[in-house]
């Protein structure tokens, strides 16, 4: 099954990008020798950007399906609100929770 240019397995890119970015951030922080749960560490920016990119990928996949999923279409907006303009802690816990949420949404779009 193909979605207007996307393979039916394209949803797998969403967790790969989001959790991959978080993992790269964690490995970089450990490699430097800093504590991994330091929320304000600048290396966590890689995880934030990866979550935003994964949300846009999810939005593109959701837009290309015949059955439009409103929540998945709004995922990029949620990512911008949470990670860019929101007054939330955007540390590792928020990144992991957001990545898990968009992974669930990506699996739901695939069905």
pLDDT digits (tens, 9 = 90+) for 43-87: 999 999 999 999 999 999 999 888 888 998 999 999 999 999 978
Residue-range definition of the domain harbouring residue 87:
2-110
What's the half-sphere exposure (Cβ side, CA atoms, 13 Å) at 49?
7
Please list, in sequence order, all residues whose beta carbon lies within 8 angstroms of the beta carbon of residue 13, skipping any fewer than 6 positions away: 54, 57
pLDDT beyond 70 at 4: no
What DSSP state is assigned to residue 89? Answer: -
Distance (Å, rounded) from C-alpha 39 to C-alpha 15? 22
**Domains in the chain, number:** 1
* Sign of CA pseudo-dihedral 66, 109, 69, 98: negative
């Amino acid at each position: 099954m193909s979605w207007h240019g996307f393979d039916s397995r394209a949803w797998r890119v969403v967790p790969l990008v989001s959790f991959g970015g978080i993992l790269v951030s964690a490995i970089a922080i450990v490699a430097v020798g800093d504590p991994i749960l330091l929320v304000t560490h600048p290396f966590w920016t890689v995880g934030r950007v990866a979550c935003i990119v994964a949300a846009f990928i999810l939005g593109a996949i959701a837009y290309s399906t015949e059955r439009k999923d409103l929540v998945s279409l709004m995922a990029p907006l949620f990512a911008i609100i949470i990670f860019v303009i929101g007054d939330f802690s955007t540390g590792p816990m928020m990144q992991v929770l957001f990545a898990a949420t968009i992974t669930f949404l990506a699996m739901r779009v695939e069905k």
